[in-house]
Amino acid sequence: MLLDTTFLIDADRSGDVLDAAIGDDDDVAIAAVTVAELRVGVLLTTGKSRSARRVFLDDVLRAITVVDYDRAVAEAHAELLVYVRRQGRPRGAHDLIIAATAKATGRIVLSADDPAFADLPGIQVRTHR
């Protein structure tokens, strides 16, 4: 299972989302771009919120495998870019990288943003809302 950034943000805000959506036997990971998205959240925030977001990101990085953008992900990314361009339905750049990471590693995307991943070939999405 590949955790999308929206899922992790919801988990940070509610605390119990992770337990309800992820089973004990699920092999979870995040895409490298998700680290960047969460880090941007830390850097754009100030005060106590910044500290809390930094702690959350540190916890995520300690507990969850990060899948690098490697050649297999790049190949899947290219295929998805061609698909959305031909369909005339652009998607967010980071969402496509997350989808490509899931495709390259044979994982299901767990997200709160189903439309970002809907109808992409080879991509399975599970929402937690």
Reported as a single tens digit per residue, the pLDDT across 118-129 is: 999 999 999 877
* The pLDDT value given to residue 100: 98
pTM passes above 0.85: yes
Are 4 and 97 in contact, with CB atoms under 8 Å apart? no
Domain range for 111: 2-127
User: Taking 80 as the threshold, does the pLDDT of residue 116 lie above it?
Assistant: yes
Q: Tell me: the pLDDT tens digits for 22-79?
A: 777 889 999 999 999 999 999 999 989 999 999 999 999 999 999 999 999 999 999 9
What was the pLDDT predicted at 10? 86
CATH label of the domain that carries residue 38: 3.40.50.1010
When divided into structural domains, the chain yields a total of: 1
pLDDT of residue 70: 98
Whether 9 has a pLDDT exceeding 60, the answer reads yes
Contacts of 112 (CB under 8 A, 6+ apart): 4, 6, 7, 9, 10, 127, 128, 129
Identify the pLDDT of residue 19.
65
Of residues 110 and 14, more confidently modeled = 110
* pLDDT band at 16; cut points 50, 70, 90: low
Q: Are 46 and 21 in contact (CB under 8 A)?
A: no
